Chains A and B, each alone.
Chain A
Amino acid sequence: MDYFGLYNYWIVIFLMMTGFYIVISRDNLIKKLIGLNIFQTSVFLLFITMGKVKGGTAPIINHHFDTYSNPLPHVLILTAIVVGVATMAVGLSLVVRINEAYHTIEEDDIHLVEEEP
């Protein structure tokens, strides 16, 4: 097995776990969202990586080349990026509203406020 040749996948796993860890460990609601975004981005990279064909060039027809990368994952990820942007937008606007309602965006402080009768 050629482990190093697949280094893109190592990066994917690293990014994925980084993002996931941030989501779990951070208290700050915005940092959590950033973590979530890193987590999603790693999946974009996963898709792009699997579209790569060895020796292939960008999928634009040209008579100099006969091997092209698979364009379908790129298209899928364009959609997924839009989904990611939308999620981020909704998430951030929720944080703005939470900040207005609680005057804090730290999860611990919100719990404290909630526990007060």
Chain B
Amino acid sequence: MIRENLPALQVVIPLMAAPICILFKNGRAAYGIALAATLFAFGAAISLLTQVLGVGPISYELGGWAAPWGIEYRVDYLSGFVLVLVSGMGVVVQLFSPASIKREIDEEKHYLFHCAFLLCLTGLLGIVITGDAFNVFVFLEISALSSYILISLGKHRRALTSAYQYLIMGTIGSTFILIGIGLLYMMTGTLNMADIAARIGPVATTRTVLAAFAFFTVGVSIKMALFPLHLWLPNAYAYAPSVVTAFLAATATKVAVYVLIRFTFTIFGEHFAFEETPVATLLMPLALIGIVVASSIAIFQKSVKRMLAYSSVAQIGYIVLGVSFVSVTGLTGGIVHLFNHALMKGGLFLAVACVVLRIGSDRIDDFAGLGRRMPVTMFAFVVAGLSMIGVPLTVGFISKWFLIQAAIEKGWWPVAALVLLSSLLAVAYIWRVVEIAYFRKPPEGEDRITEAPVSMLLPMGALILATIFFGLNTEATAGVARQAAEYLMGAVR
């Protein structure tokens, strides 16, 4: 019974748990509920992914109404993979959060934090699992609205203006996506993704469908902070509470990339998306410029969170680059990097959260001497940083390997060279932090600073171990990613 309805429960359990958190009005009780719901979501996601790997894609009819009339939930290789990623990051961040939010969020708002966190998780999981285009918009707004709230919980008053800015940009983005979905519905008369894909053929070259695709692509580019539509991201990440930053950086933009992949490959089809329209020739330069420009800006930031935020914009560039190759290898690279970047950026932001807990600041100068004072945290930072650079034995290497391979397959040597060169920019910004933390003397009278509590070190350590584990054992991630890429490319008509 539970197993059959797992796709629905995947979304419904966190959704139902959110208002229960409000009813208790108590931080501890709310935390218990949120943790239980997130753990359940993680378990459900793993179970769904193993089912998909065993027997192929699962289709679930919500309320017993058959698709295309009813809403269909659909788990295939890609969505199963992203579900595990999102819910897994949810579990890590939830385990990590108690000590961190105690310092960064007022005690009486804790239950609200857990409620908003669960809603955000619900939205993200919903976007990934649904097979209905309009449903994507609804879940997109659920996750977006709750992430505005999460960001505005930051202590600094700038958190409010950043959340406001994100709200304006995010709403424009999702309204663009809604227009795109509307125009698609106009031409095909259906909202089910598989059904749209089946009916779009005869009308694919009409101006309405082209407009739909244009609106959709711009909207989703805002959502995933593709350069040059990334302006909301650095402030939002810099001023949000540290755990929120870690969670959003690891999941929210990744899910937006998922939406891009899902719509371009499954709905519009790669033939339409990349041959009838110049999207690939548009996405690739933007991705490359984004990688170089955002990495360069990252080098000059004074706040570590902000630096990592700009690095996130660059990393989105790598993922989109992988997608824009329109080949199985490229797409595999994009999907693998989507997963890997979530692990390492999650790890980096959690390490920064540990530092913020102890010294109350994320300014790069305040990191002086932390290599001695907080050895475990800084070690985690270094390992995740190495992965960000793409050093072998870490996950970052795997993604870059696939991306470079995809570029060479196409014979685009300059792109391959640029991917390699941009790693040097990552060396520059990661090294700045490492240098100050390990080689600069701490200011006088700062002997009180000690290592972060074990409750935070363990989840962070788990992520760091994962970056190495999946760097050595590529079969788990790259295997599934390749399967997903082949399935997406094969879904072409």
* Chain A interface (Cβ < 8 Å from any Cβ of B): 20, 23, 29, 32-33, 36, 39-40, 43, 46-47, 50, 72-73, 76, 79-80, 83, 86-87, 90-91, 94-95, 97-98, 101-102, 110, 114
Contact = CB atoms under 8 A, between A and B. Distances in A.
Given A80-B178, A98-B160, A91 B185 contact: no
Contact of B160 (A47, A83, A101): A101
A90 B149 contact: yes
A97 to B, nearest CB: 5
A24 to B, nearest CB: 10
B3 interface: no
B145 A86 contact: yes
Given A43-B175, A101-B157, A50 B152 contact: no
A101 B160 CA distance: 9
Contact of A50 (B137, B168, B185): B185
Contact of A97 (B141, B152, B182, B191): B152
Contacts of B161: 98, 102, 110
Contact of B168 (A36, A80, A83): A36
Contacts of B141: 83, 86-87
Sorting the interface of chain B by its residue count into under 10, 10 to 19, 20 to 34 or 35 or more gives 20 to 34
A36 B172 contact: yes
B172 A94 contact: no
Interface string B373-409: 0000000000000000000000000000000000000
B163 A94 contact: yes
Contacts of A39: 172, 175
B62 interface: no
Given A80-B137, A102-B157, 13 more contacts: A23-B168, A29-B164, A36-B172, A39-B172, A40-B175, A73-B182, A87-B145, A87-B167, A87-B171, A90-B145, A94-B167, A98-B161, A102-B161
A59 to B, nearest CB: 15
A16 to B, nearest CB: 8
A43 B179 contact: yes
- Tell me what chain B mostly uses at the interface: helix, strand, loop, or mixed: helix
B262 interface: no
Contacts of B185: 50, 73
A110 B184 CA distance: 41
The A interface, classified by DSSP as helix, strand, loop or mixed, is: helix
A87 B141 CA distance: 8
A71 B82 CA distance: 34
Contacts of B175: 39-40, 43
Nearest to B148: A90
Nearest to A46: B182
Given A79-B138, A86-B145, A98 B164 contact: yes
Given A87-B141, A94-B148, A50 B182 contact: yes
Interface in B152-191: 152, 157-158, 160-161, 163-164, 167-168, 171-172, 175, 178-179, 182, 185-186, 191
Contact of B182 (A23, A32, A47, A110): A47
A114 B134 contact: no
Contacts of B152: 94, 97
In the A-B complex, list the 7 residue pairs whose CB atoms are closest, starting with the nearest.
A101-B157, A83-B141, A50-B186, A94-B164, A98-B160, A97-B160, A47-B182
Contacts of A20: 172
Nearest to B157: A101
A114 B148 CA distance: 21
A63 B148 CA distance: 49
A81 to B, nearest CB: 12
Contacts of B145: 86-87, 90
A47 B158 CA distance: 37
Contacts of B182: 43, 46-47, 50, 73
Contacts of A94: 148, 152, 160, 163-164, 167
A23 B172 CA distance: 10
B171 A40 contact: yes
